[in-house]
């Protein structure tokens, strides 16, 4: 894909990630440093219009940037995905006040943006109901209630989280709204970090809102279903960048082994590399052209296929590194195995997507 505008120099970021990848996967001590490191590298500006302080590049370039970070650390790429996806919400919202209020702090990494819309994306696909309720107080104010059990990038220092709310007190044909919930609003509480087996420095926690009152200036959209369909390609496209980068790094590790090991898996590695390139091209092309807005099944298929490439690529890496890869501190193979185990379960999970595709095919057949 063509790139517009100057891209940031990420040399220092890459060095920091390589030096700390094991620590930010296995421990929480460096959780507060990931977002500032990404912000200083300028990666959040990629795909943001120049008049808003961005690089002027495209969403495809932002996907590539997530992939590049994932080659060094999936935990950092997970944080990147959450931040950049929230930035995309602000960019695609009709609410100009949100952009004026937060865009500078978001692209600098001063403020964490948390995409709490996994529940909403599952709601859009009829997987589960919304877990949050909004009650109108009149005068363009709402009282918000509910809880979300898993949100990434809830940086304790300062965050704003997106969440979808049903209008419980209104008629059933009123569409849900999506609000941006600041960390310091009354009634907003964040749990302790979840006890993950990996990606532990990703500031992943639960969020609860109880009696939180927000006004119209905090509403991302008043028509969640329509807006979610528009933003879903960016949500999933940026998420797929995580798989692309991890698969690339696993295949690079295969190419770095001895000649005998490389020869044993050469055909498989070449086949995976071709599949990865093809899927990456299709993903970026579809997001740029808006294909996935009306054809989400095609995007689901790419997400599932990329997860398969990750699984196969990390499997090849394990084969060629043999016993050495089972030791701590030996090139990151063990860490990438843990990272790869996350790819099938990040929302929407592969099981959820496969069920959606089955329903889609059944409807087409009917």
Which helix (H) or strand (E) segment is 135 a member of? Answer: strand 132-138
> In the prediction, which pLDDT does 338 show?
95
Total length of the chain = 366
> In the prediction, which pLDDT does 323 show?
67
| pLDDT tens track for 145-188 | 999 999 999 999 999 999 999 987 655 578 899 999 999 999 99
Name which CATH class applies to 225-365.
Answer: mainly alpha
> In the prediction, which pLDDT does 107 show?
97
> In the prediction, which pLDDT does 1 show?
38
Max alpha carbon distance in the chain (Å)?
A: 72
Cβ-Cβ contacts under 8 Å for 75 (sequence gap 6 or more)? 21, 24, 25, 34, 198, 199, 200, 201, 202, 339
Tell me the average pLDDT of the chain.
92
| pLDDT tens track for 231-273 | 999 999 999 999 999 999 999 999 998 899 889 999 999 999 9
Residue carrying structure tokens 């790819």:
343
Q: Residue 221 in contact with residue 227, Cβ under 8 Å?
A: yes
Q: Residue 31 in contact with residue 112, Cβ under 8 Å?
A: no
Task: Select the highest-mean-pLDDT range: 1-10, 133-142, 307-316.
Answer: 307-316
Residues 155 and 18: their CA atoms lie apart, in Å, by 22
Task: Tell me: pLDDT of 2 over 80.
Answer: no
Q: Residue 73 in contact with residue 66, Cβ under 8 Å?
A: no
Please give the average per-residue pLDDT across 30-45, as a whole number.
97
> In the prediction, which pLDDT does 298 show?
96
Q: Specify the pTM.
A: 0.94
Residues 151 and 87: their CA atoms lie apart, in Å, by 16
> In the prediction, which pLDDT does 325 show?
65
Alpha-carbon dihedral sign for residues 323, 328, 334, 336:
negative
Q: Which two tokens stand for residue 145?
A: 């209630």
Q: How confident is the model at residue 87 (pLDDT cuts 50, 70, 90)?
A: very high
Please tell me the least confidently modeled range out of 18-22, 72-76, 280-284, 318-322: 318-322
Please give the average per-residue pLDDT across 94-107, as a whole number.
96
Please state the domain extents for the chain: 11-111, 118-223, 225-365
Q: Would you call 9 helix, strand, or coil by DSSP?
A: coil
Phi-psi region of 88 (alpha: psi -120 to 50; beta: other; left: phi over 0): alpha
> In the prediction, which pLDDT does 364 show?
82
* Dihedral in degrees, nearest 10, Cα atoms 45, 75, 201, 161: 50
> In the prediction, which pLDDT does 222 show?
95
> In the prediction, which pLDDT does 274 show?
98
Instruction: Provide φ and ψ at 345, rounded to 5°.
Output: -105, -15
Instruction: Provide φ and ψ at 314, rounded to 5°.
Output: -70, -30
Residues 185 and 202: their CA atoms lie apart, in Å, by 22
> In the prediction, which pLDDT does 118 show?
81
Domain 11-111 = CATH 1.10.540.10: yes
| % pLDDT > 90, the chain | 81
| % pLDDT > 70, the chain | 95
Cross-strand pairs, 143? 135, 213
Q: Which two tokens stand for residue 266?
A: 């050469």
Return the CATH number of the domain spanning residue range 118-223. Answer: 2.40.110.10
């Amino acid at each position: 894909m063509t790139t517009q505008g100057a891209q940031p120099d990420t040399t220092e970021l890459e060095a920091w990630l390589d030096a700390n990848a094991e620590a930010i996967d296995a421990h929480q001590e460096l959780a507060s440093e990931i977002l500032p490191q990404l912000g200083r590298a300028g990666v959040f500006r990629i795909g943001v219009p120049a008049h808003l302080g961005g690089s002027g590049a495209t969403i495809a370039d932002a996907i590539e940037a997530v992939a590049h970070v994932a080659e060094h650390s999936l935990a950092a790429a997970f944080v990147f995905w959450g931040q950049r996806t929230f930035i995309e919400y602000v960019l695609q919202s009709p609410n100009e006040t949100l952009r004026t209020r937060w865009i500078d702090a978001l692209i600098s990494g001063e403020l964490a943006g948390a995409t709490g819309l996994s529940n909403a994306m599952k709601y859009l696909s009829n997987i589960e109901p919304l877990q949050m309720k909004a009650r109108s107080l009149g005068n363009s104010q709402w009282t918000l209630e509910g809880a979300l059990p898993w949100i990434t990038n809830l940086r304790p220092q300062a965050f704003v989280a997106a969440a979808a709310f049903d209008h419980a007190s209104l008629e059933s044909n009123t569409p849900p709204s999506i609000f941006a919930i600041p960390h310091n609003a009354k009634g907003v509480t964040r749990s302790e970090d979840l006890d993950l087996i990996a990606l532990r420095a990703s500031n992943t926690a639960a969020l609860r809102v109880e009696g939180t009152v927000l006004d119209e200036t905090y509403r991302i959209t008043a028509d969640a279903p329509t807006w979610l369909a528009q933003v879903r390609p960016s949500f999933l496209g940026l998420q797929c960048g995580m798989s692309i980068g991890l698969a690339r790094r696993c295949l690079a590790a295969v190419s770095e082994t001895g000649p005998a090991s490389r020869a044993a898996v050469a055909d498989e590695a070449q086949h995976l590399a071709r599949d990865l390139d093809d899927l990456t091209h299709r993903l970026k092309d579809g997001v740029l052209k808006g294909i996935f807005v009306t054809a989400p099944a095609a995007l689901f298929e790419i997400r599932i296929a990329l997860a398969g490439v990750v699984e196969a690529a990390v499997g090849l890496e394990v084969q060629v590194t043999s016993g050495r890869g089972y030791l701590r501190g030996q090139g990151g193979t063990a860490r990438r195995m843990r990272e790869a185990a996350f790819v099938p379960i990040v929302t929407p999970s592969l099981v959820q997507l496969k069920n959606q595709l089955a329903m889609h095919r059944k409807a087409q057949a009917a």
